[in-house]
Amino acid sequence: MAERADPSQVPADYETDAGDRHDQLRLWLRLLSCTFLVENEIRTRLAQSFDTTLPRFDLMAQLDRVPEGLTMSALSARLMVSNGNTTGIVERLVAEGLVRRTVSDTDRRSTSVSLTAKGRAAFKTMAAQHEAWIRELFGELEPAQTKRLLSLLGAAKEAVRTSLATPRPAAAPRRRKRAKA
- Residues of this chain that interact with DNA (CB under 7 A) are 1-4, 40, 43-44, 47, 53-56, 71-74, 80-90, 92, 101, 106-111, 176, 178-181
The interface partner of residue 88, options being a second copy, DNA, none and the CB cut-off 5 to 8 Å by kind, is DNA
Q: Tell me the closest approach of the beta carbon of residue 61 to DNA, in angstroms.
A: 13
The interface partner of residue 108, options being a second copy, DNA, none and the CB cut-off 5 to 8 Å by kind, is DNA
What does the alpha-carbon distance between residue 179 and residue 96 come to, in Å, rounded to a whole number? 33
Our CB check for a second copy shows the closer of 56 and 100 to be: 56
Q: Tell me the closest approach of the beta carbon of residue 88 to a second copy, in angstroms.
A: 14
3-class DSSP state of 6: coil
Q: Tell me the closest approach of the beta carbon of residue 137 to DNA, in angstroms.
A: 16
What does the alpha-carbon distance between residue 15 and residue 125 come to, in Å, rounded to a whole number? 36
C-alpha dist (Å) from residue 24 to 100, 161, 166, 175 = 44, 16, 19, 29
User: What amino acid occupies position 111?
Assistant: T
Q: Which residues, in sequence order, are bridge partners of residue 71?
A: 112
The interface partner of residue 90, options being a second copy, DNA, none and the CB cut-off 5 to 8 Å by kind, is DNA
Q: Tell me the closest approach of the beta carbon of residue 105 to DNA, in angstroms.
A: 9
What does the alpha-carbon distance between residue 49 and residue 36 come to, in Å, rounded to a whole number? 20
- Full strand arrangement of the beta sheet holding 70-71: 70-71, 111-115, 99-103
The interface partner of residue 173, options being DNA, a second copy, none and the CB cut-off 5 to 8 Å by kind, is a second copy
